[in-house]
Amino acid sequence: MADLSIAVRQAGDVAVLLPAGFINAHTVREFEEALEGLVRDGRYTILLNCKNLNYISSAGLGAIMGLIETVREHQGDILLSDLQPNVFAIFDTLGFTQLYRVFGDEDQALAAVTPERKG
Amino acid sequence: MSVAVSMEPAQFRLVIPSQTRYLNLVTGLAKRASLVAGLDDATAAKVSIAVDEAVTNVILHAYHGEGEHSVELELRFTEEALEIHILHSGQGLRGDQIVLPDPKEYIKHPRKGGLGLLLMSRFMDEVRFKADEASGRNECCLIKKLD
């Protein structure tokens, strides 16, 4: 099994990115390219559905940090859902849960952003 | 009849090439070692993250991404703690050279980098760096106490 695989789909105005496996210094470039590709295509509201993400190191957090200002400048955002406990612990320990909106599951995340985007 | 009981802690070593492709191997080992030491699943996951960060630092910063060097991991199981020593011959780092980012400032001014050491210090009970200029051997020691 590959260390990391990434699926992308569109849910309304939201690009849903589903990383599966491990994001570390070895795999981060693939993750970064997927995020950058979305931004290049003008898809500035991105949901990271982490249900199949086993692990993320600071390399992966850096990739997210590197794009957060860009997407917000374009009235978009990076949202997180379905975090496994150890992945949540990493975000929470560093205080990132104050910086990103974290949702229990994908439906909650999509419901939270859809009304404001319609408004 | 007497039985000689060794007071030496149980320990073993793993040597890997300085390549990120082996990160998954060492984090898996760190997690299993934590469980063997008696730590719970959540703590074992944190130890494995700390080891990932420490070994990544060695590969990318001490060895500047050069893959032909080696990184040595020594695991010591004592009655009080699990110790993971990461040894290398690359550019050393001393404890007094470490400056941890302030998470609150980091969130106000997001940027790439600087989080690995912070994760290591938050997830382990002790993080020590030793640079031996005479021998050229350097070490990062991660300690997780057993409750």
- Give the pLDDT confidence of A81-90 residue by residue, as tens digits: 999 999 999 9
Tell me, yes or no, whether B3 lies in a domain.
Answer: no
Q: Do B48 and A95 touch (CB under 8 A)?
A: no
The per-residue pLDDT for range B104-123, each reduced to its tens digit, is: 666 666 555 678 988 999 99
Q: Are B42 and A90 within 8 A, CB to CB?
A: no
User: Cβ contact (<8 Å) for A86 and B116?
Assistant: no
The rounded distance, in Å, linking the Cα atoms of B76 and B114 is 28
Interface of B with A (CB under 8 A): 20-21, 23-24, 27, 42, 45-46, 48-49, 52-53, 56, 59-60, 103-104, 106-107, 110-113, 115-116, 118-119, 122-123
Give me the domain span that covers residue B48: 10-145
Question: What's the total number of domains in chain B?
Answer: 1
How large is the ipTM? Answer: 0.88
Task: CATH number of the domain at B27, please.
Answer: 3.30.565.10
- Say what the alpha-carbon torsion angle B54, B89, A30, A102 is, to the nearest 10 degrees: 10
- Closest-approach residue (CA) in chain A for B100: A94
What pTM did the predictor assign? 0.89
pLDDT at B25 over 90: yes
Domain assignment present for residue B109? The answer is yes
pLDDT of residue A118: 47
Question: What pLDDT is stored for residue A77 in this prediction?
Answer: 96
pLDDT of residue B107: 62
Residues in chain A whose beta carbon is closer than 8 A to a beta carbon of chain B? 3, 22, 24-26, 55, 57-59, 61-63, 65-66, 68-69, 85-86, 89-90, 93-96, 98-99
Domains of chain A: 4-118 (3.30.750.24)
Residue A54 has pLDDT above 50, yes or no: yes
Contact A60, A23 (CB under 8 A): yes
List, for residues A1-26, the tens digit of each pLDDT value. 579 999 999 999 999 999 999 999 99
Residue B47 in contact with residue B39, Cβ under 8 Å? Answer: yes
